Chain A
């Protein structure tokens, strides 16, 4: 009984420290005490974020071998490489919470953890690469910039680095679309068609409406999240409208108009049935994306085993050499 009470008191003290730190906008670090739910909620969010970087390589890598100029090909390769790097940062950040990359990848491969639903849409033309840069990366940045102030230190620091690179990708995507929009009529049509297909899925990236968002309230109280889904979605729409105009492209929403009273753009209803369907696994590319990821992992197993076996051998060789050296010295 005494032990339980002591533990209870210690937890209460810890909780009070934690709450005070969060309230004071201080960063929570890996060795600090944190509530179990805070830890598991962060693991879930950071893993999903890391998985999205890794799965997100696929729709763009789909166009590397067909990029229409060497300059564009170099830009696209660099971007896909950056995404792998972002995945690595985020897995490392998640590991500070006591999980491992292997465990997280296993959960991705077995469908127990998710990735962003946007990557379940196909890249059908070259212009999709630009639309992903402008809209998908744009939405990601809108979501992620506030995460640079997230209460968990390792996540916040990873986001600072990631956001810098993402902003660069976003400008490149915009510039790609601009070149198409101002190009031949066929190129302009290709750009418009891509924007038509990516606009609504991009708005869905902010997650369900506030009243249906399961984790929002708690994440905001913990200062993992700083703004609600709908707030960020509105901010994104307001940013995109003038950009679309500058591009000479239209956004596929007849209800989109400036609302003087609100000081924001009103926009049409999102097809939430489609959102939930894609999230459940029934989107256009869910099966394909996860199958490719699993296959890369399974077909690479012998390579990882070889690296591990070699590392073990060279480590034991080194140990033997050291031992021999110690004996010789003695």
Chain B
């Protein structure tokens, strides 16, 4: 078992964990989506993210050992991506915040010469699609009916406090984090305003300001998510699948 103490400190780990955990959450939508086209779209995004997670985790060690045998304190993903799906508006708000971040991050990494540049170059194409999907739905929900407008606003507000974490530097990544925050804010603001919604005004981080998910400090639902994800693998130690 891999505990917090011996979790490797490579930058691929936090990025891999983001993709792994969000992919899992999107996978929970299968069979529950509001329209068949969204069954396809959400599964498609989940698959892209899982593909990214597998490459990133493999740079760190064995993908299955890292996914299935770490406890929650050893996971380095953002708290944002582990948030429960909620209603469709919450899922879309989470996608908007995260895919905008990922597009900017991978955009920067793709132009650099770091170890992650080739992966980032491939992933930016996928992420551009994810971002477009989230933006289009933010517009439809925000500027749709009074009910969808209210739900979209509630979702943006509820998830806002998990967005600050995205701009804390990840050790080993050559990224301009200040620039990232500014670009993210202006991009997300433009979409939210076009959707006739209001940019949330609360703080962008909660009480766990000291690194939170990136330091292995997670929210309560995450442990339960891992219990479900890891149960079968852990029940058959050493087995191959």
Contacts and interface: CB of A to CB of B under 8 A. Distances in A.
Interface of A: 54, 57-58, 61, 64-74, 77-78, 80-81, 84-85, 87-88, 91, 126, 176, 179-180, 183-184, 186-187, 292, 295-297, 299-311, 313
Contacts of A299: 32, 34, 87
Interface of A is mostly: helix
A65 B31 contact: no
A179 B143 contact: no
Contacts of B148: 302-303, 305-306, 309
B43 A84 contact: yes
B141 A70 contact: no
A183 B235 CA distance: 14
Contact of A313 (B46, B53, B143): B143
Nearest to A88: B36
Interface range for B: 35 or more
Given A305-B144, A309-B144, A70 B53 contact: yes
Contacts of A84: 36, 39-40, 43
Nearest to A81: B43
A303 B139 CA distance: 12
Contacts of B147: 302, 305-306
B144 A65 contact: no
Interface in B127-144: 139-141, 143-144
B54 interface: yes
A54 B47 contact: no
Contacts of A307: 35, 140, 144
Contact of B27 (A64, A72, A309): A64
A310 B50 contact: no
A301 B38 CA distance: 13
A84 B32 CA distance: 11
A300 B30 contact: no
B159 interface: no
A70 B17 CA distance: 13
A67 B232 CA distance: 7
A99 to B, nearest CB: 16
A68 B30 contact: no
A304 B35 contact: yes
A300 B34 contact: yes
A236 B150 CA distance: 54
Contact of A61 (B30, B38, B40, B44): B30
B211 interface: no
Given A88-B37, A183-B240, A305-B144, A66 B232 contact: yes
B44 A81 contact: yes
Nearest to A313: B143
16 contacts: A57-B39, A68-B68, A68-B232, A68-B239, A69-B64, A70-B53, A70-B64, A77-B43, A84-B40, A88-B36, A88-B37, A186-B236, A292-B32, A299-B34, A303-B141, A309-B148
B229 interface: yes
A61 B68 CA distance: 19
B81 to A, nearest CB: 15
B145 A309 contact: yes
Contacts of B43: 77-78, 80-81, 84
Interface in B15-44: 20, 24, 27-28, 30-40, 43-44
A62 to B, nearest CB: 8
A1 to B, nearest CB: 49
Nearest to A74: B50
A176 B241 CA distance: 7
A77 B67 contact: no
